[in-house]
Amino acid sequence: MPDPAVTANFSAAETALMERVFELAAKGCQTTQPNPRVGCVLVKGGEIVGEGYHGFAGEMHAEREALKHAGERARGATAYVNLEPCCHQGRTPPCTDGLIDAGVVKVIAAMRDPNPLVAGGGFETLKLAGVEVASGLLEEQARWLNRGFITRMQSGRPWVKLKSAATLDGRTADADGFSKWITGSEARSEVQLLRAESSAVVTGIGTVLADDPQLNVRLENVHRQPMRVILDSQLSMPLDAKIIGDGDNVLLFTCSDDYDKQGAFAELGVEVLHQVGDQNRLVLEEVLAELANWQCNEILLEAGQTLCGAFLQDSLVDEAVLYYGGSMLGDRGKSVFVSDAAISFDSRPEFVIQSADMIGPDARITAVHKASKARLAA
């Protein structure tokens, strides 16, 4: 739980500096995967002497970028960072060494690193070297920014974001399953950003057969494409489905024992993951655990009502991003999800609405599952 008393101990100036840290960290939103989004500001005598953020896994961490920028001016400085500095040798050397060697005297962090290789060890190392440490400044925002990384580290699964576009009365298509441009171009281009920030875009065979989507990011300057993941228990996907693209970065989960077809997908470069399943249905918790093994922090669920329903009924939707266009379709239109059985009022999935905004002529509501919100704060 973020300790409000701790946050209250920080001054307005310190809070403003941490806000700058978040701005820097956000620059890595589309690229740091599987690493967390981290920014760092170095301050001496009330003046910013260095700034940095983590861009790509394998490249320098935020602290080392800021230290490089500051040079000698880092001596005697205070480092503001949204995540506990690492103390382990990973793809890059420990940030704690860098900070200590550069003569930084104080570190103000927003939160502890949930990575078991760090988990408080970074703070300990700094303290042992005589560096003053304070943590908890804007912790709630820090946890939100890295909700995917935290969920993977703490729960062994990615954070699941369900995206849907519906009419004002919550319908996604007409009775025949037809829909086109329920929302306008602004909302549709925002979805490109949602994809770009995700480790993987996940869909079901129903959507592949109905729409033959590509589910890739079509933006300028894309540095990395999210993985595309298809849940296809019976292996009904055609070999020429557009989602396969060049076959790179595509995972296909199936319960089918059709080894010939599995082999044909493998030849296209698709990674076929076989699951025994439950009565020939994929077990979503196992799918998510496997996606965590593939280092997915956040996944975007862009699926039809059956798969969305399965995720919701298994309490596996952490966040819903719902776009509403200005039309209605009534009770014969398709709803966002279908359930196996009627959901009683008392057992309905409950969400906390985080924001409601206009996106061009449409509305966007972002909501977080109550249980996920509690888990993230813990």
Asked if 197 is part of the footprint of ligand AOF (rule: CB under 6 A), the reply reads: no
Active site residue 285: no
Cα–Cα dist 148/199, whole Å: 9
Give the shortest CB-13-to-ligand AOF separation in angstroms.
23
| Angle of CA points 72, 98, 117, to nearest 5° | 165
Q: Which stretch binds ligand AOF (CB under 6 A): 81-89, 136-144, 219-227, 302-310?
A: 81-89
Sorted by sequence, the CB contacts under 8 Å of residue 199 that are 6+ apart come out as 33, 34, 148, 158, 226, 227, 291, 295, 296, 297, 298, 299
DSSP codes joined into one string, 329-357 = --TTSEES---SSPPPGGGS--EEEEEEE
Name the binder of 308 from ligand AOF, Zn ion, none, CB < 5-8 A by kind: none
Distance CA 360, CA 50 (A): 38
Select the residue whose beta carbon is closest to ligand AOF and give its number. Answer: 90
Residue pair 158/297 in contact (Cβ under 8 Å)? The answer is yes
Cα 154 to chain centroid distance, Å, stands at: 14
Smallest distance from Zn ion to CB 17, Å = 19
d(C-alpha 366, C-alpha 356), whole Å: 7
CB contact at 8 A, 174 and 332: yes
Letters for 110-149 (x = contact with ligand AOF by CB under 6 A, - = none) are: ---x-x--x-------------------------------
Name the minimum Å distance from CB 51 to ligand AOF.
Answer: 13
Annotated catalytic residue within 14, 51, 63, 197 = 63
Q: Binding pattern to ligand AOF, positions 23-62, x when CB under 6 A? A: ------------xx-x---------------x--x---xx
Site for Zn ion in 32-71 (CB under 5 A): 61
Active site residues: 63
Contact residues for ligand AOF (CB under 6 A)?
A: 35-36, 38, 54, 57, 61-63, 83, 85-86, 90-92, 95, 113, 115, 118
Contact residues for Zn ion (CB under 5 A)?
A: 61, 86, 95
